[in-house]
Amino acid sequence: MEESNQFKRVIAHAKEYGFVFPSSEIYDGLSAVYDYGPHGVELKNNIKEYWWKAMVEGYQEIVGIDSAIFMHPTTWKASGHVDAFNDPLIENKDSNKRYRADVLIENHIKKIEAKIEKEILKAAKKWGQQFDRSTFINTSQRVIGYQIKINEIEKRFSSSMKKGDFLDMKLLIEECGIACPDSGSKNWSDIKQFNLMFQTKLGAAQKRASDLYMRPETAQGIFLNYLNVQKTSRLKIPFGIAQIGKAFRNEIVARQFIFRMREFEQMEMQYFIPPGSQQEWYSFWKAARLKWHHAMGLDKENYQFHDHINLAHYADDATDIEFKFPFGFKELEGIHSRTDFDLSSHQTFSGKKISYFDPFTNKTYTPFVIETSIGLDRMFLAIYSACLKEQTLEDASKRIVFELPPYLAPVKLAILPLVNKEELVGFAQEINDKLQWEWAISLDVKDTIGKRYRRQDAIGTPYCVTIDFDSLDDGKVTLRNRDSMKQERIAIDRIKQVVAHKVDMISALKTL
């Protein structure tokens, strides 16, 4: 499928087949907030299970928690979010559209990078087999010129970000000739800091009510529970704490469907390590997380690392695992070396000692942390974009097939009586009753069998079994495979074994 159209197809398909709906749609929706429908919630739960099993059950030294969304307000002062969880906001005075200034600059750099790629492609075509990419990059005056431009912009951008020098950042936008993507106008406002946390109140009496924040990351719930978990689980460093939960950010520009939302879910893990070992564990978790993605079986070309130039206030190293979404490579997961910033800061603000006595080295220290943080909704969108396919069949007809890894499919087995006749429906119901606790099953009676196959293909059901009149006599059904569309006759007693083998998540996890 062509890339730009693919994104439109994903959004339309997600609504039509009950995966994702705009929130509060009967009131015309709420910007950048979405609800998951009957199939969406199953797919989302399966992704969570794949992550939880890999991260919590897969490591003896990692345990899970589920902390509250509301946390003591000082948490966010200590974590730096009150002072530093800001985005540089710029407004175009003609279109009144608001943008993140840093994103405008990053997109401008990407445009220059695309020009370099174009030069390389042109030269590769011209020189054929003799073409040497690195020689070309180092000698082409045009490419060198572009690269110098990129380096200059990056240097200035990084320095103005670090210093919070928004005047210079605005000048940079103007000097680069960056125009409003909506109107083409270059008439920009000054840049302001915009804090992304949502605020609310705790308690009924307005005067005495205390200000609260909706958590912008789940990680702080882990840091605040570090002492409780370490003591009650009797874990020794290195160990990890994982959690899945909601996070809230008042994003300046929230768009691209469920890619950037104002309410979303994160799957985060904080790995506590001795100071000084952060490079080793950072490399370990980079490799481990990429392997987790690859084990899902989507094309490996979909993934790339993007190391950060501008580090968050808490990090001494950071990278993104980027995914090739229909709108280009974008961040899917962050891996951050968070030093001892959070634990030390909570120690200072709370006055409670947060340290660890290491029985191996006889030293007491504040642990350092490597964090892996993936957006569940983004993972959902990544899988959706890569697995939703339109195929042209031998007879020139088309089918939509959702080639989900079978263990993620919202429905694992569809039971289809060939026609809507009492004996067949009753028999189908008996098979359903026998298997209903094994996996999510759909017993579908309405429409022709062809239409029902298409419907199951479109929601990603790996297998359908069809019950016909012969089934009543020979105890066999027709098993149809979603991907190959091949059909075979099998005994009813074998359905459980065949489907269980196909939808088994554990075999994917065992490759980790």
Name the minimum Å distance from CB 267 to ligand GAP: 9
Does residue 289 interact with ligand GAP by CB under 6 A? Answer: no
Q: Which is nearer to ligand GAP, 63 or 253 (CB)?
A: 253
Does residue 251 interact with ligand GAP by CB under 6 A? Answer: yes
Does residue 331 interact with ligand GAP by CB under 6 A? Answer: yes
Whole-angstrom distance, CA of residue 467 vs CA of residue 477: 5
Which of 333, 347, 332, 206 is CA-nearest to residue 269? 333
Which of 246, 210, 239 is CA-nearest to residue 73? 210
Does residue 49 interact with ligand GAP by CB under 6 A? Answer: no
Whole-angstrom distance, CA of residue 197 vs CA of residue 247: 10
Element (DSSP H or E) covering residue 279: helix 278-295
Can you give the three-state secondary structure of 361-379, one letter per residue? CCEEECCEEEEEEEEHHHH
- Interface with ligand GAP (CB under 6 A), residue from 244, 288, 374, 414: 374
Whole-angstrom distance, CA of residue 494 vs CA of residue 476: 9
Name the minimum Å distance from CB 268 to ligand GAP: 6
Name the minimum Å distance from CB 294 to ligand GAP: 18
Contact criterion met (CB below 8 Å) for 459 and 37: no
Q: Which is nearer to ligand GAP, 248 or 427 (CB)?
A: 248
Q: Which is nearer to ligand GAP, 11 or 219 (CB)?
A: 219
Name the minimum Å distance from CB 335 to ligand GAP: 9
Q: Which is nearer to ligand GAP, 39 or 260 (CB)?
A: 260
Q: Judging by beta carbons within 10 Å of its beta carbon (0-12, 13-18, 19+), is residue 391 exposed, middle or buried?
A: middle
Whole-angstrom distance, CA of residue 9 vs CA of residue 7: 5
Q: How far is CA 271 from CA 226, 244, 346, in A?
A: 11, 15, 17
Stretches 56-64, 142-150, 198-206, 329-337: which one binds ligand GAP (CB under 6 A)? 329-337
Name the minimum Å distance from CB 482 to ligand GAP: 28
Stretches 35-43, 101-109, 297-305, 326-334: which one binds ligand GAP (CB under 6 A)? 326-334
Spacing of C-alpha 481 from chain mean position: 29
Name the minimum Å distance from CB 105 to ligand GAP: 18
Tokens of 254: 């929230």
- Interface with ligand GAP (CB under 6 A), residue from 39, 108, 215, 378: 378
Q: Which is nearer to ligand GAP, 32 or 477 (CB)?
A: 32
Does residue 403 interact with ligand GAP by CB under 6 A? Answer: no
Interacting positions 256-275 with ligand GAP (CB under 6 A) = 260-261, 264, 266, 268
Does residue 375 interact with ligand GAP by CB under 6 A? Answer: yes
Whole-angstrom distance, CA of residue 201 vs CA of residue 167: 35
Q: Which is nearer to ligand GAP, 321 or 428 (CB)?
A: 321
Name the minimum Å distance from CB 226 to ligand GAP: 15
Does residue 249 interact with ligand GAP by CB under 6 A? Answer: yes
Which of 468, 467, 438, 442 is CA-nearest to residue 455? 442
Does residue 373 interact with ligand GAP by CB under 6 A? Answer: yes
Position of minimal CB gap to ligand GAP: 375
Q: Which is nearer to ligand GAP, 218 or 456 (CB)?
A: 218
Tokens of 508: 């994917």
Whole-angstrom distance, CA of residue 460 vs CA of residue 14: 12
Query: What DSSP assignment string belongs to 178-233?
Result: ---TTT----B---EEEE---EEEESS-TTTPEEEEB-S-SHHHHHHTHHHHHHHH
Does residue 444 interact with ligand GAP by CB under 6 A? Answer: no
What is the total count of residues that contact ligand GAP (CB under 6 A)?
A: 19
Whole-angstrom distance, CA of residue 85 vs CA of residue 79: 9
Does residue 333 interact with ligand GAP by CB under 6 A? Answer: yes
Contacts with ligand GAP, 210-229, as mask; x by CB under 6 A: -------x-x----------
Does residue 372 interact with ligand GAP by CB under 6 A? Answer: no
Name the minimum Å distance from CB 85 to ligand GAP: 9
Does residue 499 interact with ligand GAP by CB under 6 A? Answer: no
Name the minimum Å distance from CB 222 to ligand GAP: 9
Whole-angstrom distance, CA of residue 247 vs CA of residue 70: 10
Stretches 76-84, 133-141, 158-166, 373-381: which one binds ligand GAP (CB under 6 A)? 373-381
User: In this structure, what DSSP letter does residue 412 have?
Assistant: S
Length of the chain: 512
Whole-angstrom distance, CA of residue 243 vs CA of residue 266: 8
Q: How far is CA 377 from CA 69, 262, 397, in A?
A: 18, 11, 33
Does residue 416 interact with ligand GAP by CB under 6 A? Answer: no
Q: Which residues bind ligand GAP (CB under 6 A)?
A: 217, 219, 249, 251, 260-261, 264, 266, 268, 331-334, 371, 373-375, 377-378
